[in-house]
Amino acid sequence: MLNDKILGTKSFRRNIPQDTSCPRTFQENLFVPKITFMNTSVVSKSISLPKVLVLTGYGINCEEETAKAFELSGGLPTIVHINDLIENPRMLDDYQIMAFPGGFSYADDTGSGNALANKIKNNIEKEILDFAKQDKLIIGICNGFQILTNLGLVPAKENKYGQRQAVLMHNAHARYECRWIKLKNTSQKCVWTRNIDTIHCPIAHGEGNFYAEKEVIDSLIKNDQIAFKYIKDDNSPANQEFPFNPNGAMLDIAGICDESGRIFGLMPHPERFNSFTNENGWTLEKEKLLREGKELPTLGKGLQVFKNAIEYFTK
């Protein structure tokens, strides 16, 4: 079969959870990814669409909606268990994009994202670093961001991939926080935040308090690596004020990229804003639109993050 040498015949993989009653094989997925979403029907054009490896296992738990967000944005996601990746790391060659979804890998034991990063370092560090250095894209969302920082894929000052340079610490109020916040894109460089100025996004984490030493922060600023900052409703800086900055992060940092702008880690969950009806306060927006006689949108604005990644390869 076409993919056997890439996938390894033993490698069991899951597909996007569109229809779990009849799981499509990866091969089928490759050719006819017909996606029906609300009233929109998107049929992908060709085999050349970017392929996305969405990692799962050991408590990662946002893999399905992350895969769905890539799918809705025109990508070809495959959910891969980390043990399968460890067994066959060469499958990475087949992918243009890698996603570390949110979740609770190893229950945050020994530090959030630390144990899963250890698992990667202990088994496939070289292959992941190789992937990071190529002209490919990586995103780490929430727990995925914590994993990326522990792996040293962001901020990777001076291209020192593999060196831990920042940390996401316990929230300033030391409690898990789930709410919607507002973000401002402050980077020209970051591939993932293109075409976004400000955006609402949900956060849900206990350890999102971004910290790095001064020289790292200085270099983040100098190299245009701060991609998302928390802001207030009126778009002014959150200035670490709760709840606008929900965790006390330095400089209101919500997301950073590496020096190339290809590798992106962020605490907020853009994949949870996949539909119009996800957004906090959408019912008010709905009433406004209805009274103005306008149609309701279907998709959520968070998908722009994923579209940017797909367009990096297709445009």
Q: Which of residues 172-201 bind another protein (CB under 8 A)?
A: 172-179
Nearby residues of 151 by Cβ (< 8 Å), 6 or more positions away: 117, 120, 121, 125, 128, 162, 164
Among 166, 190, 254, 267, binds another protein (CB under 8 A): 166
Question: Residue 276 phi/psi, 5° resolution?
Answer: -55, -40
Q: In whole angstroms, how close is the CB of 196 to another protein at the nearest point? A: 19
Identify the residue whose tokens are 């802001």: 231
78 part of the interface to another protein, by CB under 8 A: no
Touching another protein, residues 277-296 (CB under 8 A): 277-278, 281, 283-284, 286-287, 290-291, 296
65 part of the interface to another protein, by CB under 8 A: yes
Distance in angstroms (rounded) separating the CA atoms of residues 277 and 115: 35
Among 14, 200, 262, 307, binds another protein (CB under 8 A): 14
Distance in angstroms (rounded) separating the CA atoms of residues 80 and 16: 10
Q: Give the range of 43-51, 83-91, 127-135, 221-229 binding another protein by CB under 8 A.
A: 83-91
Among 8, 88, 164, 240, binds another protein (CB under 8 A): 164
Among 217, 244, 248, 215, which residue's Cα sits nearest to residue 231? 244
Among 29, 73, 78, 171, binds another protein (CB under 8 A): 171
The set of catalytic residues is: 142, 269, 271, 279
Among 123, 219, 240, 314, binds another protein (CB under 8 A): 123
Q: Are strands 137-141 and 263-266 parallel, antiparallel or unpaired?
A: parallel
CA distances from 313 to 79, 227, 281 (A): 20, 20, 34
Q: In whole angstroms, how close is the CB of 284 to another protein at the nearest point? A: 5
Q: In whole angstroms, how close is the CB of 47 to another protein at the nearest point? A: 23
CA distances from 193 to 226, 271, 275 (A): 10, 13, 18
Q: In whole angstroms, how close is the CB of 306 to another protein at the nearest point? A: 12
Distance in angstroms (rounded) separating the CA atoms of residues 245 and 201: 12
Per-residue binding letters, 215-254, with another protein (x by CB under 8 A) = ---------------------------------x------
Touching another protein, residues 19-38 (CB under 8 A): 19-23, 35-38
CA distances from 41 to 44, 195, 255, 256 (A): 10, 23, 32, 33
CA distances from 82 to 56, 119, 221 (A): 6, 9, 33
Q: In whole angstroms, how close is the CB of 31 to another protein at the nearest point? A: 19
